Amino acid sequence: MWFLSMLWASCLLMGTHAQGSASFRRANAGSGRCQYTFMVDSPTEASCPSAGSSPEMEALKSRLGLLEALVARLVGGEAMSESSQGSGSQSGLQDAYNQMMRENAQLQREKQRLDRQVQDLQQRMEEIRQEAERLRSRPCMQQPPPRVPQNDKSSRPGSGPALSHLVSRPGNTQGDKSSLRDPAWHYENPGYQELTAVVTEVSAPNLEGPADISGCGDLVWVQEPEVHRKADSIAGKYGVWMQDPEAKEPYGPEMAWRIDAIGSEVRQLFGYENMDQLSRGFPTKVLLLPESMESTGATMYRGSLYYQRRLSRTLLRYDLLSESIAARRDLPHAGFRGKFPYSWGGYTDIDLAVDENGLWAIYSTNKAMGDIVISQLDPHNLEVKGTWETKIRKTSVANAFMICGKLYTVASYTSPNTTINYMYDTATSQGKTISVPFKNRYRYNSMVDYNPAQRKLHAWDNFYMVSYNVRLGKQE
């Protein structure tokens, strides 16, 4: 049909050029085929000349030949174009598929390499752990006392300068020497004799400043950690354990609580009747929190567990008696989900703490530009009662806790011998740098909280639940 349209247009053009009329007719032929007839009137001739004798007829034939050649070339060009386009498209798809397969194979090889590296690191860590356990369990070698030759006269009592002060004084006579002799010595026997040392216990001088046992004061000393228990599984590498300083029925102040903090749904709260049961690993109560917890910032106070809800800045109060959520409130402008964590990470953006003055939240905001913010909370409805901004960046410290309305920060979570390096007093709104020695025995301390009733720090150090006695006094 396209060919007929082109032919009709060409005929019209030729007729117009010859200043005559043209017509087109279609009819059924006797053979059943469609027959097309084109007629163009000659502007000068009245009748048809003899065949082959008209130059105009020859010109018309020439034009029709050129038109047929043009049509054939166009039809052939379109077919070739479609064919080339189809083959080009297919070739492009094949190239893209081959490229994708090569990239996939490369990614598989990279994944296998990383898997091997992870396995090697895990094996190395296990070897280091076993070596550390072996060294820790190996008894210390005692140095044997030095042997003294028998012909050494200086080893005999009163025969040399090493023991002369035991039997004489300058300016005394020989008779005075006998009065100063120790009756335990048998001077008539020149052989070796046994000395018995009597040790009298005396109180050590106070090197940390005056103690304030009855009330509040500054933190001046932290004892070596006491180990209570090691977590059972990998879920216990990080965690939180605590005792309620103002416990309520049906649980007493001896009740210990533990939460393993690794996992996407941290909801199990384990209760132990006392510290001995915690050490043995025999829980007497297991509670399932209605909403999952974020990180290691939980605390226990007045019969309730306070914690941060996962993936939010919402604080929750879980009542232990009713085993239900008793209060919830968003902590205004608090960063969460790794925006302002402690230096060890772990989504520790919001850390709840308890001291002699009540319930606190330790966190940061965009307004504070990452510096630690302290807010005192109403323990009943979690309303913010007061807020203080410090001058120490939260991501620069390993942990923090409150004692007597004062914030204290721990410098490192991995160093075995680190310090508590900063104190901020909410009573005066002043902060200062301090240096109180602190030990991370197992070199990954992910939680440090204060218990005002026991005057102890509770900590979770690389699977181990430990505690530290503290001493309050006056900072120099």
Lowest mean pLDDT of 141-150, 207-216, 271-280, 373-382, name the range. 141-150
Query: Is residue 179 pLDDT above 50, yes or no?
Result: no
CA distance 284 to 291: 22
CA distance 20 to 43: 5
pLDDT top residue among 345 and 58: 345
pLDDT, tens digit, 9 for 90 and up, residues 222-255: 999 999 999 988 888 999 999 999 999 999 999 9
For residue 242, what are the CA distances in angstroms to 245, 258, 343?
9, 7, 22
Q: What share of the chain is helix, strand, coil (3-state, %, to 5)?
A: 25, 30, 45
394 CB-near residues (< 8 Å, 6+ apart): 340, 341, 342, 362, 363, 364, 370, 371, 372, 400
Give the phi and the psi of residue 332 in degrees, each rounded to 5.
Answer: -55, 125
Tell me what pLDDT residue 165 has.
39
Tell me what pLDDT residue 115 has.
82
Instruction: Check residue 72 and report its DSSP letter.
Output: H
Tell me what pLDDT residue 90 has.
73
Structural Rg of the chain based on CA atoms: 48
Average pLDDT, the chain: 79
Q: Which residues of 411-441 are buried (b: 16+ CB within 10 A; e: fewer)?
A: bbbeeeebbbbbbbebeeeebeebebebbbb
Query: Is residue 89 pLDDT above 80, yes or no?
Result: no
pLDDT, tens digit, 9 for 90 and up, residues 186-222: 445 544 444 444 433 433 434 444 444 458 999 999 9
What stretch of H or E contains 432? strand 430-439
Q: At what angle do helices 2-17 and 55-137 cross, to 10 degrees?
A: 140
Output the pTM of the full model. Answer: 0.58
Mean pLDDT of 355-368: 97
CA distance 162 to 286: 67
Tell me what pLDDT residue 85 has.
59
Tell me what pLDDT residue 12 has.
52
Identify whether the C-beta of residue 304 lies closer than 8 Å to the C-beta of residue 232.
no
Place of tokens 């052939």: 76
- Collapsing DSSP states into helix, strand and coil, what is residue 110? helix
Residue 120 one-letter amino acid: D
Place of tokens 């117009």: 16
What stretch of H or E contains 3? helix 2-17
In the structure encoding, which two tokens stand for residue 300, read together? 């226990």
Give the phi and the psi of residue 384 in degrees, each rounded to 5.
Answer: -75, 125
Instruction: Check residue 113 and report its DSSP letter.
Output: H
Query: Is residue 147 pLDDT above 70, yes or no?
Result: no
Identify whether the C-beta of residue 439 lies closer than 8 Å to the C-beta of residue 469.
no
Query: Is residue 96 pLDDT above 70, yes or no?
Result: yes
pLDDT top residue among 101 and 204: 101
Query: Is residue 83 pLDDT above 60, yes or no?
Result: no
What stretch of H or E contains 445? strand 445-451
Lowest mean pLDDT of 24-33, 79-88, 143-152, name the range. 143-152
Place of tokens 């018995």: 196
CA-closest candidate to residue 446, choices 295, 327, 245: 295
Query: Is residue 263 pLDDT above 60, yes or no?
Result: yes
pLDDT, tens digit, 9 for 90 and up, residues 388-410: 999 999 999 999 999 999 999 99
Identify whether the C-beta of residue 194 lies closer than 8 Å to the C-beta of residue 184.
no
Identify whether the C-beta of residue 466 lies closer than 8 Å to the C-beta of residue 256.
no
What class has domain 218-473? mainly beta
Instruction: Check residue 341 and report its DSSP letter.
Output: -
CA distance 78 to 405: 88
pLDDT, tens digit, 9 for 90 and up, residues 20-62: 566 667 777 666 677 767 676 665 555 555 555 566 677 777 7
Tell me what pLDDT residue 47 has.
57
Q: Is 237 exposed, middle or buried (0-12, 13-18, 19+ CB in 10 A)?
A: middle
Query: Is residue 292 pLDDT above 80, yes or no?
Result: yes
Please give the full DSSP string across 37-70, using - where no structure is assigned: EEEE--SS-SS---TT--HHHHHHHHHHHHHHHH
Percent of the chain at pLDDT exceeding 70: 69
Strand runs (DSSP E) across 137-249, as ranges? Answer: 218-222, 226-230, 239-243
Residue 381 one-letter amino acid: N
Q: How many C-beta atoms lie closer than 10 Å to residue 393's C-beta?
A: 16
In the structure encoding, which two tokens stand for residue 20, read together? 């005559």
Mean pLDDT of 411-433: 97
Give the phi and the psi of residue 415 in degrees, each rounded to 5.
Answer: -65, 130
In the structure encoding, which two tokens stand for residue 164, read together? 């002369």
Mean pLDDT of 349-362: 98
Identify whether the C-beta of residue 462 lies closer than 8 Å to the C-beta of residue 429.
no
